[in-house]
Structure 1
Amino acid sequence: MQTIMIVEDDPKIAELLRSHIIKYGYRVHVVHDFDRVMDEFRNERPDLVLLDVNLPSFDGYYWCRQIRQESICPVLFLSARTGEMDQVMALENGGDDFITKPFHSEIVMAKIRSQLRRAYGEYAAKADERMLEREGLRLFPERLELAFGTKTAALTKKEADIIESLMERYPRVTGREDLLAKLWDDQAYVDENTLNVNITRVRKKFLELGIEDAVETVRGAGYRLNVSWVKAGEE
């Protein structure tokens, strides 16, 4: 049975979420001590976290960064804030999706199921481990790792999906619509800026490996893998 951890300081909202989620056969753990979020995360080892932005002591962005140091489990932010920058902040700090309050319970469940499928279910690995390679760049989709030379970068599921699409399409362009369809089951709830934020995060992963300008923006079309490291090695 998969475990959902709820970190929400409004007890009415927390109980509403808990009572609805358990109807679908999930185990639910609700955090009450907001100074011990990571202690409870380590004890429960949840498969997904619902994380409010506004929390006592430290906000949800802080706790998401702490979670990302130890886990790549899906994190869905909950917030009454509706500004675009709030959604950008959530994604930049390691979140996988952003749900605006007030929300419809069925939308929350659809997003939970979608993230669980992508992380552990029908979209996750079911056979021998795959490895994609382009000009010395190696992607291990099942491990969520990107490697180049002796360096390795840990990826989120969405980052791995984007890089996989770029490597599979190289040297062709990967369209924005194709990426949106690959990354989100229901594009109706995806803000246009969400893909831009994820592309920025992918570029940062390449920089961790010492690779600059690895993702080229093709105006009006999408993105293309730029094997700039090959040219640099030839100079």
Structure 2
Amino acid sequence: MLLKILLIEDDATLFKEIKDRLMDWEYEVYGIENFQNIMERFAKVQPDLVIIDIQLPKYDGFHWCRSIREHSNVPIVFLSSRDHPTDMVMSMNLGADDYIQKPFHFEVLIAKIQAILRRVYNYSTTTSDLKVWMGATVDLERNRVSNEKGMIELTKNEIFILKLLIERKNKVVSREYLMNLLWDDQRFISDNTLTVNVNRLRKKLAEIGMENGIETKVGQGYIAIEQVGK
């Protein structure tokens, strides 16, 4: 069952961009047609998470956050182009779970959404402890990767990074996204530590003939390669 997100954003262009990206991650996304009746829409959708802008027609996001909190403990994430510290303090005091300032990297939004959903609903993006990648079996529970050339043992950080990459294989995964999820997972990884872990992961993969499995996209991040049809 797909988790439902209510996106309360009056900028049509931004709404469509966020909705399309969230749907790529297999979330159901609902919007607002009448900004005077947001609570009616909320009651009808019964979302698992709410993303809300501060500056909205009629009443601002703080107003609607108060209204939602009177009826529900659903997770709420604020999006705002306003950078005054009091806005963040206000949102937290009203019971919001996070505050993201515009413009933002979409990977950061996804990382925060997944972190909140894991915490609140014990939700996991991993449906199985076994993954198949480049003809190899990736055992997420035992921290192992094996193929016909042998087997390698990975550290918890290395298997976590590999999992995130192969979940988005053939797509660039930004360093910022990786560090956000690793940080939330209480691994407290730094930029330099991420580089070290990826380099070690590559060296281990090379031991079983998978040295070309992970590519670096300079200035962007990393990509786990998977040939079409493999």
- TM-score where L is the length of structure 1: 0.52
Q: Which amino acid aligns with 2:4?
A: T
Question: Is 1:60–2:81 an aligned residue pair?
Answer: no
Hey, what does 2:31 align to over in structure 1?
A: 30
Q: What aligned pairs does 1:11-50 form with structure 2 within 5 A after superposition? A: 11-50=12-51
Hey, what does 1:91 align to over in structure 2?
A: 92
Q: Which amino acid aligns with 2:117?
A: L
Distance change in 2, residues 1:186/1:10 (3 Å): farther
- In the TM superposition, residue 32 of structure 1 has moved relative to its aligned partner by 2.2
Larger-Rg structure:
2
Hey, what does 2:116 align to over in structure 1?
A: 115
Please identify runs of 4+ aligned residues in structure 1 that moved more than 6 A: none
Unaligned runs of 5+ in 2: 125-182, 189-230
Q: Which amino acid aligns with 2:6?
A: M
Cα offsets for 1:82-105 (capped at 9, x unmatched): 111110011111211000000111
Unaligned runs of 5+ in 1: 124-183, 189-235
Within 2, Cα distance between the matches of 1:185 and 1:62? 29
Q: What aligned pairs does 1:195-234 form with structure 2 within 5 A after superposition? A: none
Within 1, Cα distance between the matches of 2:56 and 2:87? 15
- TM-score where L is the length of structure 2: 0.53
Equivalent residues, number:
128
What is the SS of the residue equivalent to 2:184?
Answer: coil
Indicate conservation of the 8 Å contact 2:5/2:28, yes or no.
Answer: yes
Within 2, Cα distance between the matches of 1:49 and 1:122? 16
